[in-house]
Structure 1
Amino acid sequence: MTRIDTTFATLKAEGKKAFVAYIMAGDTDEAKSLEIMKALPDAGVDVIELGIPFTDPMADGGTIQLAGQRALAQGMTLQKTLDMASEFRKTNDSTPIVLMGYFNPIFSRGVDAFLSDCTAAGIDGLIVVDLPPEEDDMLCLPAQDAGLNFIRLATPTTDEARLPKVLTNTSGFVYYVSVNGVTGSAEASGANVGPEVARIKSHTDLPVIVGFGVNTPEKAREIASIADGTVVGSAIVSQIAQGKSVEEVTAFVKSLADGAHSA
């Protein structure tokens, strides 16, 4: 079992929902980004999604695109992202880390080398948004052979014909994208999300976590109450973009985590 599997099993046993937080590695600089990452577990974060900066993040809205640009301008790279995870692991060996990004930097590094480096850095799972199930041989299956979860996204347009294919070889959890469009583009609606979560759960025993459009403690609670947990990214990244201190960012994260955990 990966740390992701263990975390969700523990939460289920405790009757709790998961809170997953996304940050962009290296935003606004390496030191502050690492400091925020290290503070997330104490703020109530159950799983950390660590974004890999990339020049063409097609699934991301302006907030996360700008975060990637800030990180790249500071010299952030895939290697430095892995180094950040390694540094985090020196003081935390239990909180799962999911790398989220695009295939180009991984391909450039070489899949075998990347997976070996992920294992060494203490990475638990991958979300690679531009690799469809038809390309599982390129990364998904090798990643699972290396002991990493490969987490797939389902969306409002993933119909009954497509859903089984999306779920094939998915592990860790299913990430349901609550809105059509890019990150930060609209607010999630519990009325719309509920039936979709139920539909996905009829096809899999994996936890279903809902992201995109969750930006307040109240919304985190609403969405977590109808899923196995929720993800917040753009709202947290916005706090960082505003120049908030580490303490201010983590206080905001704690309010979101408290909302999700009260579901």
Structure 2
Amino acid sequence: MTTRIDQRFAQLKAEGRAGLVTFLMAGDPDLGTSLEILKSLPAAGADVIEVGMPFTDPMADGPAIQAAGLRALKAGTTLKKTLALVESFRALDRTTPIVLMGYYNPIYVYGVERFLQAAKQAGVDGLIVVDLPPEEDDELCLPARAAGLNFIRLATPTTDDRRLPKVLENTSGFVYYVSLTGITGAALADYSGVEAAVTRIKRHTNLPIAVGFGVKTAEGASQVARAADGVVVGTALVNALKETLDAENRAAPQTVAAVSELVTALAGAAHGARGAGDGRRARPSWLRRIFGRIAP
């Protein structure tokens, strides 16, 4: 089985560069705007797109992504509408990998077999379900892989060499290395341990390693991309979106551009980190105000 995820990381490897993996919540701040943002991401430089499935009890998410999920739920986003969102995107883009990320409860309520059929039909390529451990692979992981979907697992700084083989046993697509313990949104102040962590994980697998949690700026993306196969950014994009909303959390004319311009800055940094071109593009002034100095 070769998926769009496998093909994209093979392409990135051949080009000698790291990829940018972007996360945004489906339906934030509304389904129409969410679709327009998704459509803008590939041209802005996103190599893989993670789409959050809104859930009422997101235990691993920080305040920004929790708020994004609540905005999406308030706007009427359901799992069925999330799949429809992906299907609408896929009608216009046949190559960019899409990963659904979230929690098992909505999938269980939807029905595993029904969900997997609908996800495959919509054009989903992989799943990240953060609250299903490897011991529960029969529940969703193995059926997902049988359906032709990658099942992507998280490794953390506390996943030691004894635990890693179990975590990686049925993982496919890529390994998502969580660069710090805790919830999403915290800043990663020290990137020095990323290379050692990636090297350690690669001793156990040939899969690409994407690093996330704590990457907020293009400068940070560049540092991570020197060691990892992919850089995952979520909270910074969610914050860029939130900064444009009005007092009632409605989208503004600049909402789509706010996200896509930040993605362009991050992609330029990630893609250029290994000398495959410096990736320099104009950085809008509002980005500098919100995130500080943005360097490639």
What secondary structure, in the 3-state scheme, does the structure 2 residue paired with 1:22 have?
strand
Counterpart AA for 2:165 = P
What residue is the counterpart of 1:34 in the other structure? Answer: 35
Counterpart AA for 2:217 = T
Q: Deviations over 1:67-113 (max 9, x none)?
A: 00000001100000000000001110000000000000000011000
What secondary structure, in the 3-state scheme, does the structure 2 residue paired with 1:75 have?
coil
Task: Please report how far the alpha carbon of residue 16 of structure 1 lies from its aligned counterpart in structure 2 after TM superposition.
Answer: 1.4
Counterpart AA for 1:174 = V
Whether the 8 Å contact between 1:17 and 1:261 is mirrored in structure 2 is: yes
What secondary structure, in the 3-state scheme, does the structure 1 residue paired with 2:237 have?
helix
1:250 aligns with 2:269: no
What residue is the counterpart of 1:76 in the other structure? Answer: 77
Task: Please report how far the alpha carbon of residue 248 of structure 1 lies from its aligned counterpart in structure 2 after TM superposition.
Answer: 2.1
What residue is the counterpart of 2:148 in the other structure? Answer: 147
Q: Distance in 1 between matches of 2:127 and 2:163?
A: 21
Counterpart AA for 1:103 = Y
Q: Deviations over 1:194-249 (max 9, x none)?
A: 11110000100000000000010110010011111100000000011112521122
What residue is the counterpart of 1:13 in the other structure? Answer: 14
Whether the 8 Å contact between 1:190 and 1:226 is mirrored in structure 2 is: no
Q: CA RMSD in A?
A: 0.7
Aligned length: 263
- Structure 1: give runs of 5+ residues left out of the alignment: none
> Hey, which bits of structure 1, 4+ residues long, moved more than 4 A?
none
Larger radius of gyration: 2
What secondary structure, in the 3-state scheme, does the structure 1 residue paired with 2:148 have?
coil
Counterpart AA for 1:252 = L
What secondary structure, in the 3-state scheme, does the structure 1 residue paired with 2:121 have?
helix
1:86 aligns with 2:87: yes
Q: Distance in 2 between matches of 1:222 and 1:262?
A: 10
The TM-score, its normalising length taken from structure 2, stands at 0.88
What residue is the counterpart of 1:60 in the other structure? Answer: 61
Change (3 A) 1:79 1:188: farther
Whether the 8 Å contact between 1:20 and 1:230 is mirrored in structure 2 is: yes
What secondary structure, in the 3-state scheme, does the structure 1 residue paired with 2:176 have?
strand
Q: Distance in 2 between matches of 1:248 and 1:127?
A: 26
The TM-score, its normalising length taken from structure 1, stands at 0.99
Q: Distance in 2 between matches of 1:172 and 1:245?
A: 31
- Structure 2: give runs of 5+ residues left out of the alignment: 245-253, 274-296
